[in-house]
Every structure is written in structure tokens, then in C-alpha cells.
Structure 1
Amino acid sequence: MSNALYTKFKERLLKAQIDLSTQPVKAVLVKNTYAPVIASHEFLTDIQAHIANTAQALAGVTVTGGVFDANDVTFAAVGADTHKAIVLYVDTGVAGTSPLVLYLDEIPGFPFTGNGSDAEIRWDNGANRIFAL
């Protein structure tokens, strides 16, 4: 699989139902047990069984020129699971209504097996940052 925006997110975006510059976006590490179904996975509940950590809120979010970016993020004390990707989602406070945004597996250092240490994720500093439309 390669990095991909979830289809249902794209639909919400085109219907002006999501504003990534004002709504809280969070990141989770997903285990190698997750088989992404980009076309139909819609909410956090679709991936909950494969989440390997506590969600991290993205800070410093910017949406400029069709490019989404945020500050780098650190996951604390990452367990011994094999982590294959990061999933971003919009946090509504309820897993069943929190839409999935992006599946990222083309990240330097992924997949990796945690060892209890912190895992710092450094987003791409190129033109596309985290993702671009």
C-alpha cells in the first residue's frame, strides 16, 4: 500500500463537511495487522483493533496552497508491536463519528518494532508536507 487519502474523507471535503484548519486532527500508529481499505474505511472504529498507542493531537496545523502540514509529533513509550503506518483522523470525541483522513506508510523508518522508547515522527519538509491536494 502507499500513502492515500481515505475515499470517505475526500467526499466529506468536497461537500464542505470537514475543515482541517479548525477541527482537531489526531495521529495514531497502526499495527502490521491492519489491512487498509481506503475505499470503505470511514471512521476510527474501523481501525480501532489495530491502533497501537494513544492518539496524538497535531499542533501547529496549517492549510496553505492546498497543502496540509503540522508540527512533528512524538508518540511516548511505544510498545513492542510492529507499527506499519500512521493514520490521521478528525477527532469528534466519539470514535464512531471521527472520520479517517489519511493512511501514511511511506515514512522513513517504517515499519518498525517499538521497544518502549519514544517515537518521533518527522513530517516531510518538501513541497507536499504531510499531504497536498
Structure 2
Amino acid sequence: MATTLYNNFKTLLLNGGVDLDTDTIRALIIDDSAAYTPDIDTHIYVDDVTAVANEMSGTGYTRKTLNVSVSTDNTNDQGVVDADDLSYTGLDAGTIQGVLIYKEVTTDSDSPVVGWYESADFPLPTNGGDVTLTINASGLLTLG
């Protein structure tokens, strides 16, 4: 999986508007029915994305809070943000196109987007079985 970072997140990270260690970082799944293309320049908040893409809904689906950890990789000269894999039980809610990572504030209109996470496994149809979306072994995102 690879993460595309939104430009507003980069600015928030640099000016202290996002603290990945302490802020609530969440994930929602975008269904492939609307063929979402990330616009890293103009998509600032969750509702900017959900206005043009369909969030998954249905059996077994819910937004997830990520257990995020931040570390230093001196060997590769990187800062690494990692998170636990996303697991869903009995997911029968559509076809997964990608995962939107965001900082939860109060509503979708004030919760800034962080990144768009996708995989070679997507689109991934759901069929009522359990689904685990594996976070890349090198981390959710890296800054080098």
C-alpha cells in the first residue's frame, strides 16, 4: 500500500496543527462506485472528499480510530508513522477503492484529511467475510 499525502496536511504538520502522537487519527473507506481521484491541492477536509466520493456503508463497516506510533529510522534517515492493520468483521458493504486517513476534530467539515491509502489489492469486493487491510511493513507514511 502507498499513502498520498494531502498538501494541507503537510502545512498542518509543519506549523503544529497536527500532532500524530496525540491527535485522534481515523480511517474511513471509500467505495469504488464513484471512482475517487485524490485532489491533494483542494481536498482539505473529510467533507471535501465525501462530496465527490462515496464512503462505504453497510454491514460490518464503521470508521476506525488508528493506533498511531511515530518513530525515527536512522538507518534510512526517515521519520516513520505506523498504525495497526484495519480489521472488519462480516464486511458486506461494497467494493473498497481506498482508505482516507484524517484527523478527527468535531465534524467532517473541520476534520482535515491526512492521506489517501491504496493498495494493489484494490478494488477489493466485500462479500460478508472478515477483511483485514494490512498497513505496509515500512509504515503508514514516511518522511525522509
Q: TM-score interval w.r.t. the shorter chain?
A: 0.7 to 0.9
Unaligned runs of 5+ residues in structure 2 are: 73-78
Render the CA deviation track for 1:31-76: whole Å, top value 9, x for unaligned. Answer: 22122211110111112252104211112x2111211001112133
Structure 1: distance between partners of 2:110 and 2:120? 30
CA shift for structure 1 position 111: 1.4
Structure 1: distance between partners of 2:93 and 2:28? 15
Computed over aligned residues only, the root mean square deviation of the Cα atoms, in angstroms, reads 1.6
So what's the TM-score if we normalise by structure 1? 0.87
In the alignment, what sits opposite 1:15? 15
Larger Rg: 2
SS class of match (2:109): helix
Determine if contact 1:42/1:100 at 8 Å carries over to the other structure: yes
Structure 1: distance between partners of 2:135 and 2:26? 14
CA shift for structure 1 position 104: 1.1
Determine if contact 2:96/2:123 at 8 Å carries over to the other structure: yes
2:109 paired with 1:92: no
SS class of match (1:123): coil
Structure 2: distance between partners of 1:51 and 1:4? 18
Unaligned runs of 5+ residues in structure 1 are: none
Structure 1: distance between partners of 2:23 and 2:43? 20
SS class of match (1:47): helix
Percent of paired sites with the same residue: 29
CA shift for structure 1 position 108: 4.6
Render the CA deviation track for 1:82-107: whole Å, top value 9, x for unaligned. Answer: 211111001112111111001011x2
- In terms of fraction of residues, the more strand-rich structure is 2
1:37 to 31, 36, 39: 39
- One-letter identity of the residue aligned with 2:104: D
In the alignment, what sits opposite 2:140? 130
SS class of match (1:92): coil
What are the within-5 Å matches in structure 2 for residues 1-133 of structure 1? 3-32=3-32, 33=34, 34-48=36-50, 49-52=53-56, 53-59=61-67, 61-65=68-72, 66-105=79-118, 107-126=119-138, 129-133=139-143
Question: Which 4+ runs in 1 deviate beyond 4 A?
Answer: none
Determine if contact 1:56/1:75 at 8 Å carries over to the other structure: no
